[in-house]
Amino acid sequence: MSGYPPLAERMRPQKLDHYIGQKHLIGQGAVLHQMVSSGRISSIILWGPPGVGKTTLARIIANQLERPFYVLSAINSGVKDVREAIEKARKSRFFNSAAPILFIDEIHRFSKSQQDSLLGAVEEGVVTLIGATTENPSFEVISPLLSRCQVYVLNPLENEDLMVLFDRILKEDTVLKTRKIELIEDEALMRFAGGDARKFLNIIELITNSYESDQTIEITNENVTRHLQQNPAQYDKNGEMHYDIISAFIKSIRGSDPDAAVYWLARMVEGGEDPKFIARRLIISASEDVGLANPNALLLATNAFEAIKMVGWPEARIILSEVTIYLATSPKSNSAYMAINQAQEVVRKTGNLPVPLHLRNAPTKLMKKMDYGKEYKYPHSYDHNFVKQDYLPDELKKTQLFSPQNNPQENKIGERINKLWGK
């Protein structure tokens, strides 16, 4: 069995029809399906967690469009490698032939100079860029390059998708279709896979390799859990606990446990995690979990993000540790998070309600004639810089979206709001 490629490689689909999941992108009539069917593809960035098929999708697109396919990994490619790949692509084009596809894995790790070196080739149509990223491209891809690419979001695979993949293993895999495999329980298998096809396949391969060739392979919750606990390195050989650890890190901060939070931070530091990735999560936690209970948390987290860009490893770990402990030991409130969630829900239900006339802008005579802004009261012209008037659409009068929570800072906010508006 050792002479075969890993199961994840053996099961890699070669055609769009065999691709599992992402129906919103590759299903009949979906945008990428239409692009491939038409034979034309624009530069795109595929954004999603590990194991959802970003690299596979890029290869399938290149294969079905019969385009030359050049691959660069942002981890071990420099500006020189980018320029060499672009030059190869330029030389491979004949007359009006379609542009080769340049695939860049983990494009979020490319520096500004590396991304700048791509810009001209993408702009001129020398290459069609397909980038893959696990990070929000808005943060890591330079604006000129991002503006020339369409960003498509790939989602974690549903359990139903993984079951389709499991059935395909039993029928099509060179090795495992000859074995007797019984899926007795799937809860642990799905939980550990977490919507990641590569994890899913690695788990199955790990379990099947523990059985003799003539034995029936039984997949149970206990079996999966035992094998993964005994073989954590095998399970995570490609660094796929990335999202599990950041989840534990944020939940420890939210739970006000500084010891656990700094432990998970250390796991990421020792694993060589990008410090900016950690810092961005701290900014989010400062808003979502600490919020108005301690507004200084957001200032500290934002300043830390700028500081680590100047300092870098290894000293950045001290800055991250300071912010982590500060957030973990701060009082907690998710009132801002809940307020925007509720406000968005109201917008979805009520649609585009008209802005009240007195709140509208009136830059022209016609608008003034139509009473735009006419009844508006300027708060600074009144005592305490406040005057009661309606600010919501008529249909939503007296709708409360923000509710101060019970902590010293928000108690003061609540007292002030009650004093101004009355309970």
Q: Does residue 227 contact residue 206 with C-beta atoms inside 8 Å? A: yes
**Rounded CA gap, 161 and 195, in Å?**
9
pLDDT at residue number 57: 93
User: CA gyration radius for the chain?
Assistant: 27
CATH code for the part of the protein at 159-235: 1.10.8.60
pLDDT bin (cut points 50, 70, 90) of residue 230 is low
Q: Where in the chain is the domain with CATH 1.20.272.10?
A: 242-329
Nearest to 139 by CA among 289, 328, 278: 278
pTM: 0.58
Q: Does residue 10 contact residue 4 with C-beta atoms inside 8 Å? A: yes
Choose between 286 and 357: higher pLDDT: 286
Q: Is the dihedral of CA 413, 419, 422, 423 positive or negative?
A: positive
Q: Does residue 157 contact residue 190 with C-beta atoms inside 8 Å? A: no
pLDDT at residue number 324: 94
Q: Does residue 262 contact residue 324 with C-beta atoms inside 8 Å? A: yes
Q: Where in the chain is the domain with CATH 1.10.8.60?
A: 159-235
Q: Which residues sit opposite 132 in a β-bridge?
A: 46, 105
pLDDT at residue number 423: 65
Cα angle value 409/330/412 (rounded, 5°): 5
Q: Where in the chain is the domain with CATH 3.40.50.300?
A: 22-153
392 is written with which tokens? 């919501």
Residue 131, SS3 per DSSP: strand
Q: Does residue 297 contact residue 409 with C-beta atoms inside 8 Å? A: no
Tens-digit pLDDT profile for residues 185-220: 888 888 888 888 888 998 998 898 888 888 898 899
Question: DSSP secondary structure string, 205-234?
Answer: HHHHTTS-TTSPEEE-HHHHHHHHHH-HHH
Tens-digit pLDDT profile for residues 34-46: 998 888 888 999 9
Q: Which of 238-247, 298-307, 383-392 has the lowest mean pLDDT?
A: 238-247
pLDDT bin (cut points 50, 70, 90) of residue 378 is confident
Q: Residue 99 burial (CB < 10 Å; 0-12/13-18/19+)?
A: buried
- Top CATH class of 22-153 equals alpha beta
Residue 352, SS3 per DSSP: coil
**Rounded CA gap, 310 and 303, in Å?**
11
Q: Does residue 47 contact residue 154 with C-beta atoms inside 8 Å? A: yes
Q: Give the residue-averaged pLDDT of 24-36.
A: 89
pLDDT at residue number 232: 47
The CATH architecture of the domain made up of 242-329 is Up-down Bundle (1.20)
**Rounded CA gap, 265 and 272, in Å?**
11
Tens-digit pLDDT profile for residues 400-410: 888 888 888 88
**pLDDT mean across residues, the chain:** 85
**Rounded CA gap, 224 and 23, in Å?**
29
CATH level 3 topology of 355-421: post-AAA+ oligomerization domain-like (1.10.3710)
Nearest to 11 by CA among 178, 200, 181, 188: 200
Q: Residue 337 burial (CB < 10 Å; 0-12/13-18/19+)?
A: middle
Choose between 357 and 285: higher pLDDT: 285
Residues 6+ apart with CB under 8 A from 69: 58, 59, 62, 63, 100, 101, 103
* Residue type at 291 in one-letter notation: G
Distance in Å from the first CA to the final CA of the chain: 73
Asked, as a colleague might, if the bond just before 393 is cis with ω within 30 of 0, I would say no
For residue 390, pLDDT beyond 70: yes
Phi and psi angles of residue 104, each rounded to the nearest 5 degrees, phi first: -120, 110
Tens-digit pLDDT profile for residues 252-287: 899 888 888 998 898 888 777 788 889 999 999 999
